Amino acid sequence: MSESGASLDLLQLTDPHLFADPEAEHKGYPTVPCFRRAVTHALAGGMPDAILVTGDIAEDQSAAAYEALRKTLEPAGCPVFCLPGNHDDPGLMRALLADGQFHCCETLTHGAWMLPMLDTWDGDRGGGRLGESELRRLEQLLSTGTAPNVLVCLHHHPVPIGSAWLDAVGLDDADELMSLLERHAAVRGVVWGHVHQTYDEHHDGMRMMGTPSTCYQFLPRQDAFALDDSSPGYRRIQLYPDGRIESQVVRLDT
């Protein structure tokens, strides 16, 4: 991306769970129409500098589901940075979402900010893991990067969110990640998907943000799986050169 501009305006979309069949439903939600509505709603509120798609893109791991994402986001005209969730096929993602406007697990750099897009995929088992190679890649980015501010992006949550069943399928090596981040003062925040709900807290000076899905939501603070009746949503993020993060979760009306 261009290095110019006083701030960086981002749109985060996550967990659309798309299918090849545009009419297919998942947990009662037609996920492709839901995703299209969320994108239309978000772009009507202003065109972002870039779009972050933080995993669980294709529920059926099909090429057609990834193509549906491309076709929906191409009209925005801005760069799209994607990373895989546990339901994705990382190899297929890299084949279909890593050219031109689309970037898969690439680092976004813009002005005073660097955004590492991390891969936590560890099979379709629910939980995730960075592993030695991805932690090493992040360490190198943080050690050699010249941007004074960093926002780390991934799919699985690295801190407990208060739901026992979800915290059991979070990031296996969260302690290693958080220890690494705490050693680098440039890290201002972390943003993720996976949890299908809003989370916004601070941890050792870092802003930690989880974001609703563009389709169904999980009921917060539950020991066992439960769906919420909250509306689909997305997150807008504004990053400023002085390290400030302003962010708002936006819900659709229905």
pLDDT of residue 62: 98
- Cα–Cα distance, 6 to 141 (Å, whole number): 23
Q: Is residue 1 part of a domain?
A: no
Torsion of CA 64, 215, 35, 88, to 10 degrees: -30
What residues make up the domain containing 230? Answer: 8-251
pLDDT tens string, the chain, 254 residues long: the values are: 545 457 999 999 999 999 999 999 999 999 999 999 999 999 999 999 999 999 999 999 999 999 999 999 999 999 999 999 999 999 999 999 999 999 999 999 999 999 999 999 999 999 999 999 999 999 999 999 999 999 999 999 999 999 999 999 999 999 999 999 999 999 999 999 999 999 999 999 999 999 999 999 999 999 999 999 999 999 999 999 999 999 999 999 86
Q: Is residue 130 part of a domain?
A: yes
Q: Is residue 3 part of a domain?
A: no
Q: Is residue 2 part of a domain?
A: no
Q: Is residue 30 part of a domain?
A: yes
pLDDT of residue 253: 84
pLDDT of residue 2: 46
Q: Is residue 212 part of a domain?
A: yes
Confidence (pTM): 0.96
pLDDT of residue 6: 78
CATH label of the domain that carries residue 34? 3.60.21.10
Number of domains in the chain: 1
Q: What is the 3-state secondary structure of the chain?
A: CCCCCCCEEEEEECCCCECCCCCCEECCEEHHHHHHHHHHHHHHCCCCCEEEEECCCECCCCHHHHHHHHHHHHHHCCCEEEECCCCCCHHHHHHHCCCCCEEECCCEEECCEEECECCCCCCCCCCECCHHHHHHHHHHHHHHCCCCEEEEECCCCCCCCCCHHHHCCCECCHHHHHHHHHCCCCEEEEEECCCCCCEEEEECCEEEEECCCCCCEECCCCCCCCEECCCCEEEEEEECCCCCEEEEEEECCC
Residue 97: name the closest of 39, 51, 46 by CA: 51
